[in-house]
Amino acid sequence: MGCKDGLFIKDGCVISCKPDAGTAKIVIPDGVTGIAAEAFMGCDGLTEVYLPDSIREIGYKAFFGCRKLAHIHIPESLTRIGDYAFSGTEWENSYSGDFLTVNNILLKYKGSDRAVTVPDGVTEIAVPGFEGCDTVEEVTLPESVVRYFGFIGCEALRRISIPVPNSRLEIGKAFPNCKKLEVLTVGDKEYQIKGCTAFTEEAPNSHTESADNAAPEKSEKDTADAAYEMCGGNFPHGGTRLIKTYLDENGRHTDKSSAVRVLVTETGTDGSTLFEDTMDIDEAEFFGMEKSFCREPAKKPADDRAADIDEVLAWVSRKLPPQPCIRFTAKKSSTTRFSSKLGGLPYYPKGAELPKDKDGRPLRLLAQLNFRELPRIPDFPEKGILQIFIAEDYMYGMPDDLVTQDSFRVRYNDSDVVDDTMLMGEEDLPEYSDEYGVFPFDGEYRLVPNAPDVMQPTFCDYRMPDVFVESYNRLSAKKIDNYYCISQEDANRISGRNGHQEAYVGGYPFFRQLDPRGNDDVLKEYDTVLFELCSFTKCGIEVMLGDVGAAAFLIRREDLKNLDFSRVLYNYDCC
């Protein structure tokens, strides 16, 4: 990796940017072929970017939130643009036409028409595309379009017209939460797809949510099969079916508004039950985000071919399902005493005793989360402020037994103090020791929550290796003893399936070494990620725990529900 003019470049790709103070214009050097995900995200001072003729791809949120970025030189060589690559920039916001396109890629629709015809020549509808357009009811796509993923949350959308069948159409991924979508026209054929669960977690029946309640109006098998394929495998003529039955406090069927629990059932095409469990309302809602319900579970191949990794992961998800999470983006922006943030002045009432280590030295604020600022995910508080303090030493306050809070402290305050004058000021804070001078970052950064998401298990979790091998051997005629037997490409894909993290709550923990719970039955009880902070560098922000390490704070689910933060597992490790 090399650094030039504040750009960190590896293998022809700009990984991150750390421009000098006051830098407004950046020229990407010749030879660079890609901009990595979030490479320039939140660079508030950036106003102009020049991309070289060698550029081929721009990653997810590469320039997201660069508010002053008004001028971008984009050559014809650019062929792939990641989701939200330019969202929040002056360049995107100031565009005055209806269709913002770059090299035949439609980045954003900015009009307000009820019926929209995408211009000829457009090859891709990127994200955000039509996202959130609440006026658009009909969209006609040209023959040139081969990829369309930019229709998230178009709640008024009812009809999509495609001039010719396209084998690359992935309709279940292209139209999430388009709850009114009911007609798909492909060439001269029209498919009634109302009720397809690929588009919404809601379903027509008020008591039971099931794809089976919405059979297509046309009865011909070819029409039904085509509609099934275009519905991402979530239609009643094949694949597995996910059914949610709402229950009252006595376990009787009821409507969604009166329900206290949900019976979630997955059945195969033969009617057999593959999975069934009763869940809380919130848990069942996120369970619907699982992508493994899009196909019939695979059967063992007749020959000695290796199992398909996608099929293996579908089976893994039955024992280790995706977990709801909230990911944070760190930004250099102003904070208050009440903000979710890394470092800075903590929310602390006057007169309260600040946390200290066993030797009486003050602990320093690592992170603060204001749950009123966060989206809701199951079992996490809806209000209150959570704080994590750590010692300034070479292990960042991690105790030997991982759980005794004498070198770190987790504190939760559910009061609603909103008057700064009632809080401890900077003059009330102690002077922190410089004996070691070790802390993951300087200053403070605001933690901006993203929309609720889910995280998949990786081999970092102590349960994953055994579950993976069991699932693989279930599907493969060729057995394996451990996950090291799979290809490096598949291993890397599984390890990186959650993408890069800065900080998050929920989901699965990400350890740089071994999961410390693996050989300890007591530690295995700590099953929920209360907070995790990872090392990262971007746009003048550097958080570094040792050698690209991470700090994970885990809690028992029941303790989290009871707002008991006296028992927390804290693990720090690095590469």
Nearest to 193, CA basis, from 162, 151, 242, 228: 228
- The CATH number that applies at residue 45 is 3.80.10.10
Phi, psi (deg, nearest 5) at residue 328 = -110, 150
What CATH number did the domain enclosing 336 receive?
Answer: 2.30.320.10
pLDDT of 174 reads 59
- Rounded to an integer, what distance in angstroms lies between the CA atom of residue 484 and that of residue 490? 10
Say if CB 173 and CB 196 are below 8 A apart. no
With respect to residue 297, please indicate whether it lies within any of the assigned structural domains.
Answer: no
Task: Note the pLDDT of residue 295.
Answer: 35
- Measured CA to CA in angstroms, residue 253 lies from 62, 214, 246, 247 at distances of 47, 20, 6, 5
Q: Can you tell me the distance from the alpha carbon of 413 to that of 114, in angstroms, rounded to the nearest whole number?
A: 48
Q: Does a structural domain hold residue 27?
A: yes
**How many Cα atoms sit within 13 Å of 510 on the Cβ side?**
25
Residue 556 lies in a domain: yes
Pairwise CA distance, residues 348 & 97, whole Å? 50
Residue 446: which H helix or E strand, with range?
Answer: strand 445-449
Give me the domain span that covers residue 76. 1-94
pLDDT at residue 229 in the model: 42
In angstroms, rounded to a whole number, what is the distance separating the alpha carbons of residues 138 and 140? 7
* Nearest residue to 340 via CA among 454, 502, 560, 499: 502
DSSP state of 571: E
246 part of a folded domain: no
pLDDT score of 283: 60
The three-point CA angle 327-333-336 to 5° equals 90
Closest CA to 528 of 500, 561, 495: 561
User: Would you tell me the crossing angle of helices 464-475 and 309-319 to the nearest 10 degrees?
Assistant: 130
pLDDT tens digit sequence for 360-403: 888 999 999 999 889 888 899 989 999 999 998 889 999 999 99
CA distances to 70, 466, 531 from 459, rounded to whole Å, are 42, 10, 19
Q: How far is CA 77 from the centre of its chain?
A: 30
The structure's pTM equals: 0.54
Mark which of 94, 125, 146 sits at the end of a domain. Answer: 94
pLDDT in tens, 99-128: 999 999 999 998 889 999 999 999 888 888
Residue 558 · residue 566 · CB < 8 Å: no
pLDDT tens-digit series, residues 228-263 = 344 433 333 334 455 667 777 777 777 666 778 777
Number of folded domains in the chain? 2
Given 41, 64, 94, which residue is the final one in a domain?
94
Residue finishing a domain among 73, 94, 115 = 94
Query: Is 181 within a domain?
Result: no
- 234 and 172 in contact (C-beta within 8 Å)? yes
- Those residues of the chain that have pLDDT short of 70 are 1-6, 18-22, 149, 153, 164-177, 179, 187-244, 255-257, 265-276, 281-307, 416-419, 432-437, 539
